[in-house]
Structure 1
Amino acid sequence: MKVAFASTDKTHIDEHFGQAEHFYIWDVGPESAEFSGVVQVKADADALGHSDDKIEARAAALNDCALVYVAEIGGPAAARLVAKKIHPVKSKDREAISVVVEKLQDVLRSSPPPWLRKAMLKGERPAI
């Protein structure tokens, strides 16, 4: 599954969803994980001014992702992501992306909670 990380330094989850300019994308599975690219949110999206437009631009850019890890996210933004089948996860204490990827793999190998099993199937379900 594709997982996005909001980061200012490419290494730590340290950015607020609404302020992130870059999301680092990883393909994460139980047995393998690899960096797959960067999604850059264009400055034009921020120039739109309205926060709903910023949220929509970021959500559209992350459409292929099942999870997005952020330092902070507001309630309305989180609700919009969930409606698009993207599960936001707040990361504590500026965690390293590599550590979170390893923890996620451990959970995937054992018994993922229902919300994570659902997120894992995101790419396999036909769009309605």
Structure 2
Amino acid sequence: MKLNHVSIVFPTNDLVTVNAKFDTATYLAVYDVSAKSAEFLHAAQFDTDSPADQQLQERCAVTDGSSILFTFGQLSGLAAFHMVNHKVFAIKISAPEPIDTLIERTQEMMQSHPPLWLQRALNHQEGSKSEAKV
């Protein structure tokens, strides 16, 4: 059975727009996205007064089980290392964009011919779900 959805993480300061770097966002919003629907799963809020290494560990934990991370700006070296090791595809956007717009674009790609990175994300999500069932 092929799953047709992915879990996507969006760094945001307002829960509406991807307008922050992964390392400094106030929130990480997590959505489950299929070709025809999107469901908000949860948002993790971060205390910016915590030590940087603790914040990074907490932020990376939110991405576990997800396949895609949209981020405004570069990832730090440690965050990028975590994404690669956990097969989370990080996509850098150059200007702030509404989360809804990014979801719609992803859905359009899912409905037509998904690019290779999205095919891999879909396959990764499928593998994560089958491992969870065991």
The interval holding the TM-score normalised by the smaller chain is 0.7 to 0.9
Q: State the TM-score, normalized to the length of structure 1.
A: 0.83
In structure 1, the residue matched to 2:70 is 69
Q: Return the offset for 1:74.
A: 2.7
Q: Return the offset for 1:25.
A: 1.2
> Aligned ranges for residues 101-116 of structure 1 at < 5 Å?
101-116=103-118
Could you tell which deviates more after superposition, 19-28 or 74-83? 74-83
Q: Return the offset for 1:116.
A: 1.3
Q: State the TM-score, normalized to the length of structure 2.
A: 0.80
1:96 counterpart letter in structure 2: P
Q: Which runs of 5+ in 2 are unaligned?
A: 1-5
In structure 2, the residue matched to 1:58 is 59
Q: Which runs of 5+ in 1 are unaligned?
A: none
2:33 pairs with 1:28: yes
1:61-97 deviation per Cα after TM superposition (whole angstroms, max 9, x unaligned): 2202111111112344223212111111112321111
Structure 1 segments (4+ residues) deviating >3 Å: none
For the aligned residue pairs, the C-alpha RMSD in angstroms reads 2.0
Aligned length: 123
Identity of aligned residues (%): 26
> Aligned ranges for residues 9-48 of structure 1 at < 5 Å?
9-41=14-46, 43=47, 47=50
Name the CA distance, whole Å, in 1 between partners of 2:49 and 2:79: 15
Residues 28, 59 of structure 2: 8 Å contact kept: no
